Structure 1
Amino acid sequence: MADLVRRTGITAPQIEALATAGVIDCFGLSRRQALWEAGRAAEERPERFAGVTAVGPPPTLPGMSDDEITIADLWATGITTGKHPIQHLRQQLQADGILSAKELRTAPANTRVRVAGVVAHRQRPATASGVTFMNLEDETGMINVIISIGCWNRHRKTASDSGALIIRGRLERADNVTNLIAEHLQRLPLTAPTRSRNFR
């Protein structure tokens, strides 16, 4: 890591972001060890003598849990190659009768169901007469959600500000396309940060 900083001149926040994202794993360090070492490595500069830093030796640090790795991936890069954030909640969601995107594909049409996912995008085309289209994403796929003006107005803050949602609605299927007509929206708390593409 010190050699990387010395050769490239990257900053402390940049080397910390690389360590958080797991890029430094290739040097045989866990993410927590790499974060600790990032402080020492960041002091390495071409104008200084090599190996002279104020940071002491690293303590014994535990590895990151699956949840913490997902959070670290999303914070550092906006994506994760490991578990999807919803996958960490799947057992509880199933216990509450909340369907996955995969299960939704075979659920009977015109039934009321609940789904949960990370908000991938919100869109309100000018030609849609105020209807908002939303995509939720879980570890099994994408869910198309249609939100009427009335439903949006009733749940405006939750609908516009939440990174993840539980949505109850009526399942509609036509021409092999499955949509959920939203009736109720509820914030789904996640420990991992998420980002959506909104109104583009």
Structure 2
Amino acid sequence: MKRLNGVVILLAVLALISNCGKQAVKEEPVKEQAIEKKVEKQQPSEQKPAVVETTKVETTTAVEAPVPEEEKVKETKGKLEEVLEVATTGDSIDVMYMVRPNDYLIKIAKNEYGVAWMWKKIYTWNIDKIGDNPNLIYPFNEFLLKKPRDKANPVKYEFYDYEVKPGETLWSIAGKEYGNNYAWIVILHDNADVLNFDLEKLPPGTILKLRTKLW
């Protein structure tokens, strides 16, 4: 009888161990699924910067309304006729052009003549000022441009008197009056008779003539 009870107890213990093992095996896949779901939730947050950048690009594209093709053709045709007149007839006059910040020869050629290849002419006319490198031009320098006599519109400047104050320089005056310190070269050029191109000669009380506008 005691043996029978021992066998029953042993079988009960083995059955209990078997059930515990099955429960342990079932728990593992649940943990893996939870990890996979956690990773899937993290992925979209890493892609958000790309979506933001795309939105920024799209909001900064269309700024200017397109110019009608008829106006473009009309403007280009007029400019081209002007170029051909300068290049062929020789009946032209010299007009001074002041270089603006961010200008370059091709840009000037397009704005003044409507065609890019006129930059070579501009360079030839001003090679003494520009030097060997046509890509290097400086703001507020004045270039010579040739325009047809009947279409030329030379710029006429008006001036006002400015009294130099203690501690002022051409650099500071240009920044205050013209809005750009680099325009000091314009003041020096316009007052060559007073300054004699001497940057150190600027005592308080000196009367300079300044332009009412640069362009």
Q: Give your verdict on TM over 0.5.
A: no
TM-score when normalising by structure 1? 0.25
Higher-helix-fraction structure = 2
TM-score when normalising by structure 2? 0.24
